[in-house]
Amino acid sequence: MYGLVNRALQEFICQHHGDASWQAIKTMASVDVELFVRMESYPDDITYRLVGAACESLNIAPATLLRNFGRHWVLFTGQEGYGSLLDGAGSSLQEILSNLDDLHVRVGLMYPALKPPSFSCANVSDDGLTLHYFSERPGLAPMVIGLIEGLGERLGKSLTISQTSDRNTGADHDSFDIRIA
């Protein structure tokens, strides 16, 4: 994953638990990178180790940490200069989620080693949709729920999200039913 993800994780941990917690998490995860360069690619294992150490150190379930981090990611990337890309993806939740693959293509121009997930939408209506999520990276469905929640917050919409298929239980991808109140 790119350093941008690890920097966002660092900011998230420091904001909610302090700098000392971040340092302890890095030590526990055996990560000796002092500063993550946002446009540099790092092995996925570093991010997974940091998340695992954060969960253990802070006594937080992985799904909870990833969901909260997903919400944080939406705000973080907006502050890091990517808000205009998100704005260009659409003005409604349905439009933005339908354009996620195109958004990742544009991001890939800046990050050539990017291995983004893929998304497709079905059953799109005024009050919701079904989002299908495909990724080579395991265990990140809770982060996707947080990302969707963050987008809802950004758009001022109240959402109900339920996972309808789960790779962890044998499905070939994760799916989410999203209802807009």
| Residue keyed to tokens 């350093």 | 3
Other CB atoms within 10 A of residue 82 CB: 17
Tens digits of residue pLDDT in 37-56: 999 999 999 999 999 999 99
Q: Could you tell me if 112 and 46 lie in one domain? A: no
Tens digits of residue pLDDT in 102-121: 999 988 888 888 999 999 99
Which residues, in sequence order, are CB contacts of 13 under 8 Å at separation 6+?
Answer: 21, 22, 25, 54, 58
Record the pTM: 0.93
Q: Which domain holds residue 143?
A: 66-180
Question: Own/partner pairs for 58-62, CB < 8 Å, 24+ apart?
Answer: 58/13, 58/17, 58/21, 58/25, 62/139, 62/142
Q: Could you tell me if 76 and 145 lie in one domain? A: yes
Tell which phi-psi region holds residue 90, choosing left (phi > 0), alpha (psi between -120 and 50) or beta.
left
Q: Could you tell me if 93 and 148 lie in one domain? A: yes
End-of-domain residue from the set 25, 41, 60: 60
Q: Provide the 8-state DSSP code for 38.
A: T
Number of domains, the chain: 2
Q: Could you tell me if 73 and 32 lie in one domain? A: no
Tens digits of residue pLDDT in 122-147: 999 999 999 999 999 999 999 999 99
Tens digits of residue pLDDT in 72-107: 999 888 777 778 888 889 999 999 999 999 999 988
CATH code of residue 74: 3.90.1520.10
Other CB atoms within 10 A of residue 35 CB: 9
| Residue keyed to tokens 């994953």 | 1
Q: Could you tell me if 105 and 124 lie in one domain? A: yes
Nearest to 9 by CA among 152, 146, 149, 148: 146
